[in-house]
Structure 1
């Protein structure tokens, strides 16, 4: 073969290699996932390589944000059709609202192996509109009272099956030891509709109040809200950590794990972390109680909340097929098994699948499993005669996000001592009344 022929052949081979590489690059789809900086999501991010090995033509780009910032970013992106995210981490507040606005893609082409019938009915229903799923639950939660058994024993206390707020106040006083860095109670103080207002909205319910009455009148100046917020400020001022108005879920998780909180009332998902000896200094001393009750007649189903951090796909996405592959993987039974294999059964994402709570390996490893399932199943988020909205710690109406954010600032101001609790509630009432009037709920 002549030199000229060899050069032509070499050039042709080079062109073929370049075309093949180009085709391979074109076949690779990169999806961007926006998620919250909670420990379960960070673990999911760390396991991305397993997904990418199984799906070599899909690459995953992560944007991990603090909770309040994530909510702002994904809400702005989906409302403006910005296209920044292919997968959004959203919750039971956003899904019914956004689905009705046709902002989310229905997830109705899932493989049979996904087994949607295995999803816990209350969680599946919360993420569905007209019997169509619009997001898949990554983990779900209700609320538990986490407490230090050793400190309770030292104080001569025993956690009741159904604690009251009177008991919680007594326990906070008897277990507080600020000189040695132990606080009687740790609660959310960071402002945000999903931060301090998630806790306070539920606490107000525990005193018999809602966000709005049956006629959509805001209830922030009701007796229930006044009792709840005044007690909250009193407990945190006397027995809580300094700078509590800056503490959200993650900050309190760290404090409890360091042994600095005798009690912490918050999302049940925290249980798997505070009982993990690699993440908690008091792992073998954690007990679990239900959500406290502030009224004389506590309901049999308790005062729980309901939430599911879930993965949804914005409508109009050009990468929907790859994005759905990812969300189906991340919320599957196979993913649960993967976490169990890598981290142990107690660390798997809780609250989404019935089969998990029928798995003896899980229930043996997770002392909080029964309490979590009971709280989720007894959280009745549907509208009632005195509550016209879906939701417990939130109200699933578009206006709530703005109201909750603004009111959360007022509650943080009360906690920091800038205003009194009653002054904060008066401002909250004015804010909510104005926004509900603008929204057409009030005349």
Structure 2
């Protein structure tokens, strides 16, 4: 087991990893920018190192400074959390060259899954169902028209190196296609430094289903069930739940088994999430995230397994602590991402939190790194914290969620709490009857 882990992140995820390390008896080091000097994870860590000014490029994305912090403090491993350098293959390679363990997959696996075209090819080879579309990047408009005609409109253009909805455009007809291609390439080049795009069939009313997987790097893989992440705004997840209200036990076991076998065949090490669009009983691969997900607590709630403990165990060479037959699912869990944003316009709302009170009671968990008097900086993601609620079934979970949202108090700034209070009372949400377009339609109707 590791002696000292450096946590290369901030906010609630840094605190989440820190707690796991403390439970395992591992010393902790956190890095922070000058803007985060008073953050809770900085206060609670065994050691802290300031690595630069507020801009991420000068601090949390500064590989040289993070490696230097490891060497200064004697950290033998780095947990990257999510975001920032968590899916940076170069970072994983550099740590390996310095004999520091990256708590995550190899740089090669990060590279494969970070390239959306290569990821799709790999998924297909591993037996994972994929969306009909181009085999690789589409460079000529004539080729794009041929592919689109073959798979049928509407189609979606996606950036090969993309994510978060950037470089993504829909064409409903051949007349739309040329403009969609030009716009997607332009956005992709500006956002990722790579203007390569590919084409897929655009599904009309799909759900977003993701499967939590783990590999030991030596040919074993397991899955921890699925999460439904269909409530999204601009391709950013807002509400996640497990299990999905849309799947039955047979579908759940089937897609989980497909993903676990693929991870084993790939020789993958650590946590990963294989993401799908799901429509009319069919799963279509979107991408694989080679890291811990923001929404991992809902899986922990229904399995009782600490996924960060598992990450650390696998990275230290201890292998997986469970076999597939050991993993059992209990009840239902929902996570709401509470952001420092206007609940309707989603405009960021940085500032000082004057009062902060979290809900409690059976089945309630809040992952947050803020406190009364804490100042939300304007430089980073606006996530204040995550409210995770667990119940014996979805009805009980929704009842607890309604009560927990009423108890949650964040004063001094605008938050998305009012949005969730509206959603929990909506009939479609109560019935689990929604798709990836539902939330944006709901918000547009309320304007």
The answer to whether the superposition gives a TM-score over 0.5 is no
- Asked which structure has the greater RCO (Cα within 8 Å, sep 6+), the reply is 1
Instruction: Provide TM-score, normalisation by structure 2.
Output: 0.28
Bigger share in strand? 2
Between structures 1 and 2, the one with greater helix share: 1
